[in-house]
């Protein structure tokens, strides 16, 4: 492996290497090494970091388990760089590369709670069945004015015309050209980083954009989502604006999602397992959807991980509230796009743009796995407005965490150690939020109650 890295680094003239390790929230942790030091450390297995990076909350605190000695001794993990993920890092003066690294125990065994491993563990279960999954994320985000005071609401930025958007502009070509300079920079840096991007559109919100990724391997696509978020934030700052992937950044605007298109193929023949020879939905497809419908509401924190995530899930706000499914129906949590036999797939419209992509994909696939394994039948297909059907998703993070903690079927498959660590972090974040007095409370209660 060290020789492969050495040749690549030499051929690309790289001076420094970033090791990227996504934490529980999908935030990039890691280290930067001089290229020669990286090669030396890769060769002798001394690329290391504290294991506590997987207990860091979104506020930067540590969610420690006081009964676990390792929480306080904080032993190192070994980093295993993934050669397939090495790319040139854009935007640096010094020639820099990045590589995703898997977290390992000293004996080389996977570190059980690392999100990248959690997803790989799910994919291994499908591999045992002879299945291979293909996914394609669609990721939404907002551009906003610089907001240095978190007590103030976000505002749309000024475009090339010198004006800010004041009304919805879905798919507006003139609207998207308002941010042409930013978009061109994003595409240039994405190309440098070898991201496989498809189309970008203007979404319904003011200065809300959406990027589509070309379909591919789940872990590779999750890596790309993480890198893309980083690139967009940095490019936005370069142009004097913010980019945010919050699920619901503005009160009167639609939320931002990360829709997941998912299909399964036979690992040997490449045939789409979700479609029959005649182009109809296969039994495997129906059972996969049945698993999503039964279990996704119980694991909501994996695709709606923050307090803000649940503000997005409201009727009439372009976000689902249940797991109904329908043909080309965007009011449903699960949409079956119009497609030929080779492209038969399900679109999971539940995950927010704020979710950790590895965990959102892992949740979707493991729920579908149970459905296929147990031959779960889906509900009847819905026509028309799916919002008139009962809400089956949790209303807030507190309820979602409680339901997840009791979902033994999924806990056993994802790993009890991972779920325990994840719930500790989310409980800590929820406690921190509950200690904050909001502007709404000051506005309506201060002088009235």
In sequence order, what DSSP letters do the residues of 214-255 get, joined into one string?
PPB-HHHHHHHHHHHHHHHHHHHHHTT-EEE--SS-STTS--
pLDDT per residue over 45-100, tens digit each? 899 999 999 999 999 999 987 776 666 788 999 999 999 999 999 999 999 999 99
Instruction: Determine the angle formed by the axes of helices 416-434 and 397-405, rounding to 10 degrees.
Output: 160
b/e per residue 18-49 (b: at least 16 CB within 10 A): bbbbbbbbbbbbbbebebeebbebbeeeebbb
* Mean pLDDT for the chain overall: 95
Q: What pTM did the predictor assign? A: 0.96
pLDDT digits (tens, 9 = 90+) for 108-143: 999 999 999 999 999 999 999 999 999 999 999 999
Task: Express each pLDDT in 175-189 by its tens digit.
Answer: 999 999 999 999 999
Give yes or no for residue 29 having a pLDDT over 90.
yes
Q: For the chain, which domains are there?
A: 2-109 (3.10.20.70), 122-443 (3.30.590.10)
Closest CA to 141 of 54, 96, 205, 235: 205
Report in angstroms the alpha-carbon separations of 34 from 97, 103, 335: 10, 20, 47
CA nearest 264: which of 187, 338, 372?
372
Phi, psi of 87 (to 5 degrees): -145, 160
């Amino acid at each position: 492996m060290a020789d492969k890295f050495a040749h690549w680094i030499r051929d690309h003239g790289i001076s420094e290497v970033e090791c990227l390790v996504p934490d529980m929230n999908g935030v990039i942790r890691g280290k930067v090494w001089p290229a020669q030091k990286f090669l030396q450390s890769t060769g002798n297995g001394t690329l290391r970091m504290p294991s506590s990076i997987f207990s860091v909350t979104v506020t930067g605190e540590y969610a420690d388990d006081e009964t676990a000695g390792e929480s306080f001794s904080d032993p190192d993990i070994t980093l295993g760089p993934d050669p397939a993920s090495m790319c040139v890092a854009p935007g640096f003066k010094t020639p820099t590369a990045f590589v995703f690294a898997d977290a390992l125990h000293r004996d080389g065994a996977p570190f059980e709670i690392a999100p990248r491993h959690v997803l790989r563990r799910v994919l291994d279960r499908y591999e045992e069945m002879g299945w291979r999954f293909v996914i394609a994320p669609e990721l939404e985000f907002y551009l906003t004015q610089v907001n240095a005071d978190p007590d103030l609401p976000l505002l749309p930025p000024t475009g090339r015309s010198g004006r800010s958007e004041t009304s919805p502009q879905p798919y507006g070509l003139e609207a998207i050209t308002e941010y042409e300079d930013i978009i061109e920079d994003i595409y240039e840096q994405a190309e440098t980083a070898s991201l496989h991007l498809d189309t970008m559109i203007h979404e319904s919100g003011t200065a809300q954009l959406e990027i589509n990724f070309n379909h591919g391997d789940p872990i590779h696509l999750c890596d790309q989502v993480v890198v893309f978020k980083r690139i967009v934030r940095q490019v936005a700052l370069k142009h004097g604006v913010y980019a945010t992937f919050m699920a619901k950044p503005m009160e009167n605007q639609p939320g931002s999602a990360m829709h997941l298109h998912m299909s399964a193929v036979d690992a040997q023949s490449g045939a789409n397992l979700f479609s029959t020879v005649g182009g109809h939905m296969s039994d495997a497809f129906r059972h996969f959807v049945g698993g999503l419908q039964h279990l996704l509401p119980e694991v909501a924190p994996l695709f709606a991980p923050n307090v803000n995530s649940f503000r997005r899930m409201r009727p009439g706000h372009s976000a689902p509230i249940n797991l109904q499914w329908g043909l080309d129906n965007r009011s449903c949590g699960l949409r079956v796009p119009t497609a030929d036999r080779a492209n038969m797939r399900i679109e999971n419209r539940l995950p927010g743009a704020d979710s950790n992509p590895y965990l959102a994909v892992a949740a979707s696939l493991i729920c579908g796995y149970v459905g296929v394994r147990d031959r779960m039948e889906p509900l009847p297909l819905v026509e028309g407005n799916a919002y008139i059907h009962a809400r089956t998703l949790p209303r807030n993070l507190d309820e979602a965490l409680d339901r997840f903690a009791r979902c033994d079927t999924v806990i056993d498959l994802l790993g009890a150690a991972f779920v325990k660590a994840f719930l500790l972090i989310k409980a800590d974040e929820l406690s921190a939020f509950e200690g904050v007095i909001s502007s709404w409370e000051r506005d309506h209660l201060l002088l009235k109650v």
